[in-house]
């Protein structure tokens, strides 16, 4: 995660400052994930929760399970940024982007609450999370592709690749939750490996695919305009008050 952060930030210097938005967002994703994994690797950011299902398997024996809440703090920050990367790529309207990110936040928070609940009520939170996930998936797969298609084949190709990649991986997270925090089927070590592989594919690999696809896409084509006076933009806001017909 940390290496990919340095790579993404380094690649940003190959672009003009006004074209670095996706590099900054993508590097922020892996930076936050790096801190989360440093915490988990240091055996920090967890609490013990009484399990709903006690298993005979000695690897998951006992009635207390280690729940890494720091993982959810990571997700509540990074998954909205992942969606922002995707939905800005396809040029979705701002209200749709904000509402989709809200649904994503609900999905993550209900997952955390469910993981911290020891009774069968945890599965109620699981259902709430799945409902919001299907909303996010619909927006990415259907609405997003419709908007991306209108922007050009290169944008559609990049968006489709990254969008399908993300949603496929996100379908696996509820399975990981069900056999770990939810059902107490696999031990915490196996849980860490399961989530770790998914996070690597969903963050550094996703970021590499996205930035590669964006290498020849100007932000203006996506309806994004970043003014940088050092690149020949307006140096003084007072110029905006001059008559529109004036030649500078």
Please say if the pLDDT value at position 92 is more than 90: yes
- Alpha-carbon radius of gyration of the chain: 21
Mean pLDDT over the full length of the chain:
92
With a cut of 90, say whether residue 123 has pLDDT above it.
Answer: yes
Looking at the domain that runs over 2-222, which CATH code has it been given? 1.20.1070.10
Show Cβ contacts of residue 153 under 8 Å, excluding neighbours closer than 6 positions: none
- Per-residue confidence at 242, pLDDT binned at 50, 70, 90? very low
Q: Which residue would you say has higher pLDDT here, 243 or 28?
A: 28
Does pLDDT of 130 surpass 70?
Answer: yes
Q: What is the spatial distance between Cα 10 and Cα 122, in angstroms, rounded to a whole number? A: 43
**Locus of tokens 């964006």:** 214
Residue 246 reports pLDDT greater than 60: no
What is the reported pLDDT for 232? Answer: 60
Q: Residue ranges of the domains in the chain?
A: 2-222
For the stretch 189-208, pLDDT in tens is: 999 999 999 999 999 999 99
Residue with tokens 């020891």: 118
**To the nearest whole percent, how much of the chain has pLDDT over 70?**
93
For residue 217, the model assigns a pLDDT of 95
**Residue 240, pLDDT above cutoff 80:** no
Helix (H, G, I), strand (E, B), or coil: what is residue 41?
A: helix
Q: What was the pLDDT predicted at 61?
A: 81
Which of 207, 203, 209, 204 has the alpha carbon at shortest distance from 78?
A: 203
Note if the pTM is more than 0.85: yes
Report the Cα 216 to chain-centroid distance in Å: 23
- pLDDT at res. 226: 86
Please state, for a pLDDT cut of 90, what percent of the chain lies above it: 87
Q: Which helix (H) or strand (E) holds 78?
A: helix 69-89
Q: Is the sign of the CA dihedral 229, 231, 234, 236 positive or negative?
A: positive
CB 50 within 8 A of CB 122: no
Ramachandran quadrant class, 102 (left: phi over 0; alpha: psi -120 to 50; beta: rest): alpha
In this prediction, residue 237 has a pLDDT band, given cuts at 50, 70 and 90, of: very low
Mean pLDDT confidence for 172-181: 97
Say whether pLDDT at 99 is over 90.
yes
pLDDT at 243: 36
Three-state secondary structure call for residue 67: strand
Give residue 57's pLDDT.
86
The token pair at 210 is 């996205």
Closest CA to 232 of 13, 11, 16, 12: 16
Q: Which two tokens stand for residue 126?
A: 């699981």
Give 56's pLDDT tier (boundaries 50, 70, 90).
Answer: confident
pLDDT digits (tens, 9 = 90+) for 57-70: 888 888 999 999 99
Which range (66-80, 158-172, 189-203, 216-230) has the least confidence? 216-230
Residue 248 has pLDDT above 90, yes or no: no
> What pLDDT was estimated at residue 221?
94
pLDDT of 245 higher than 70: no
């Amino acid at each position: 995660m940390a290496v990919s952060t340095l790579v993404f930030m380094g690649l940003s210097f190959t672009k003009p400052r006004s074209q670095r938005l996706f590099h900054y967002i993508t590097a922020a994703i892996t930076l936050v994930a790096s801190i989360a994994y440093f915490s988990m690797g240091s055996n920090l950011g967890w609490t013990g929760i009484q399990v709903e299902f006690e298993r005979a398997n000695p690897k998951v024996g006992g009635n207390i399970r280690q729940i890494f809440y720091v993982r959810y703090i990571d997700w509540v920050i990074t998954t909205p940024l992942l969606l922002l990367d995707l939905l800005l790529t396809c040029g979705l309207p701002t209200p749709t982007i904000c509402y989709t990110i809200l649904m994503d936040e609900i999905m993550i928070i209900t997952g955390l609450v469910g993981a911290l609940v020891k009774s069968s009520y945890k599965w109620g939170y699981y259902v709430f999370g799945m409902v919001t996930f299907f909303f996010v998936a619909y927006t990415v797969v259907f609405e997003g592709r419709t908007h991306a298609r209108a922007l050009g084949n290169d944008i559609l190709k990049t968006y489709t690749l990254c969008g399908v990649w993300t949603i496929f991986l996100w379908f696996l997270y509820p399975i990981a939750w069900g056999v770990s925090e939810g059902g107490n089927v696999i031990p915490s070590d196996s849980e860490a490996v399961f989530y770790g592989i998914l996070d690597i594919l969903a963050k550094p690999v996703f970021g590499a695919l996205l930035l590669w696809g964006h290498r020849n896409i100007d932000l203006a084509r996506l309806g994004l305009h970043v003014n940088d006076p050092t690149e020949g933009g307006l140096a003084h806001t007072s110029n905006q008050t001059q008559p529109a017909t004036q030649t500078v």
